[in-house]
Amino acid sequence: MAFAGQTPTIIVLKEGTDASQGKGQIISNINACVAVQSTIKSTLGPYGGDLLLVDSNGKQTITNDGATVMKLLDIVHPAARILTDIARSQDAEVGDGTTSVVVLAGEILKEVRDSVEQGVSTQTIIKGLRRAGTMAVNKIKEISIDMLEASGSEEKKIETLRRLAGTAMNSKLIKRNSEFFTK
């Protein structure tokens, strides 16, 4: 039935496309992202384990580098691909923290999934996530140290910066030479 002045909505999708909507689709999207998180989570940190990945041609790769894992995973689910894009952005901008970004996003999504399953509205969830994000940024600002304005000798400041750089290098290939690279 047509209504005066209204245009019918026409949705054109490729054959085989899942056109699910609502709560079930949100949970499905979250589950796809959590599956990616569970794959990469075991590689996190200095004691993280290696993964053996085998591609469709049988090529084997052993790695515990999150960026490498994310590049080698053949992800087809659209929501999970967004998570992959976030990880690539992290790697491109910072060069580290890829696994942490995926694990953190997965943990946040698990909490969101619980709220969705309990019937909390998406607007309320989004509002809560924005508020939590603001609180997190404020906390980081509160505990951060501006090295240009920090008290102490130049030597102590430089040593602090070297230790910070060394921590970031511990999981990379240059770990053996981290002392050299931090100077």
The per-residue pLDDT for 89 is 92
Question: Does 140 or 175 have the greater pLDDT score?
Answer: 140
Q: Is the pLDDT of residue 20 over 70?
A: no
Contact present, 80 and 33 (Cβ < 8 Å): yes
Question: Does 55 or 166 have the greater pLDDT score?
Answer: 55
d(CA 133, CA 119): 22
Using a cut of 0.85, tell me whether the model's pTM lies above it. no
* Confidence band for 79, pLDDT divided at 50, 70 and 90: very high
| Whole-number Cα distances in Å, 15 to 12, 18, 19, 80 | 9, 9, 10, 21
Stretch among 85-99, 107-121, 124-138, 141-155 having the lowest mean pLDDT:
141-155
Q: What burial class does residue 173 get, using C-beta atoms within 10 Å of its C-beta: 0-12 exposed, 13-18 middle, 19+ buried?
A: exposed
d(CA 164, CA 5): 63
